[in-house]
Amino acid sequence: MSILRDLLSLMFMVGGLFFFFVGTVGLIRLPDVLTRMHATTKCDTLGAGLIVLGVVLYLGFTLASVKALLILAFIWLTNPTAAHIIAKAVVQKDKETL
């Protein structure tokens, strides 16, 4: 059972690293602010979620895992909210320059 838990947590962590990598590539390769922001916020939120879930699965139910899940909830709330506010500011600035 321990080997299965370790393999599953490793798969979550590798999946999270994959999404972090894809977000970084999107930040470098995409043409404008809105598409870059979309790539980074979606991939970073999902990557952080997978990595934290992998760590929680590896550690088991401890105080550290509860704290990690609270941090994950904070990331899930703040990352999309910040992206939305930044997108509104960029669109508003574009309207003002026209």
pLDDT tens, position by position, 38-62: 888 999 999 999 999 999 999 888 9
CB 58 within 8 A of CB 5: yes
Give the other-Cβ count within 10 Å of 96's Cβ.
7
Average pLDDT over residues 65-92: 91
Residue whose pair of structure tokens reads 């139910």 in the numeric block: 61
Coil, strand or helix: which one is 47?
Answer: helix
Which two three-digit tokens encode residue 10?
A: 């490793």
pLDDT at 98 over 80: no
CA distances from 70 to 14, 22, 53, 62, 93 (A): 21, 25, 11, 13, 35
